[in-house]
Structure 1
């Protein structure tokens, strides 16, 4: 699909990658951008239409579907990482909280907007995943579990929505320079650069986006004799 003259809904659009995607779409000539956020007053980007959208609220999702019947591109960007390992005492509660935002929310939004996309010619649906869809790395253990589930869910959406002409795109990226990674001293991708990469890939008809060098390296290493997801070998006594 072409971004120019498209109608886009971006979740979590008040900061980070969501804000960068909305800004890039404006530059690309999108006709309308619905910018979703729990608090619409936090949306400071001129040219977008603020939309109250708590992605964990069934009522907000239903209201968004009614308010945005012209959407041709849905970008499920909102997500949380609470920094919890899978053996932590808080792992179960944390996983439930992250799963609701990172898996169930994009699933429910996709289900709500799939008929709208179909009526508007098929369009596209984008899920922001992570390089941690393929790895489980402390201290992001429970987050990694949710991103692996979201990757599988994205593949399921692609299989089921292809018949209505909807392009389903999974975006994998490593660390980005956002609030979520503040204080982590590693190389980080620019949200603006990742946003441009995503929009370019959508227009090229891609099903998957490897948005930085880290995601490209990890994807290529999955089929190594010792897949990168297996981590370091156990020490031999």
Structure 2
């Protein structure tokens, strides 16, 4: 490895922890707390709605097949399927929900740490937030579906599938969480995200890992959006 490569790794290893520390330190801000509360409520409501929908769908399917509905068994099966869906789709849904409120998180970080940048930022309209959310949702589903065959091949290794999904979501989250800030400052050049791929992946891996931890996973997307803002703004000229 060249000295330039080692220097880049060292910069990423120092920049990402610092950005995460600042992001966690800002969780007590009223604006950030409000976004966290809204994101968590909508994400949990989405999975609750999924559970209710699955219950009625399974009951209807059993009746259509001529089976006597056994509500206890149906409820248990619904709970199992919903839990599996939650484990597989939580990152996708949580990130899509956060996209609606990303501007608020980024603006809070700018106001506290980069007031000069806050004056230059261009707030995104709701239509743009919606488009970004849907585009991010498509990317997340696409990336994870593409990873399924690879994870299936490695299933006998036990640790292979989790590592595959961790790597995929590290790349995905690193891009999405830094784009949230970059889009406010890009001046129309959306593809020129200034954060190096290594920094994005390292930050994405940290957030992906955090999202696997109970309770911490609920605020992980907000922490990621704030950390991504630090990584972007520290690199702007």
Q: How would you bin the TM-score normalised by the shorter chain?
A: under 0.3
Instruction: Decide which structure has the larger Cα Rg and report it.
Output: 2
**Greater share of helix residues, 1 or 2?**
2
TM-score scaled by length of structure 2: 0.26
Which has a greater percent of strand? 1
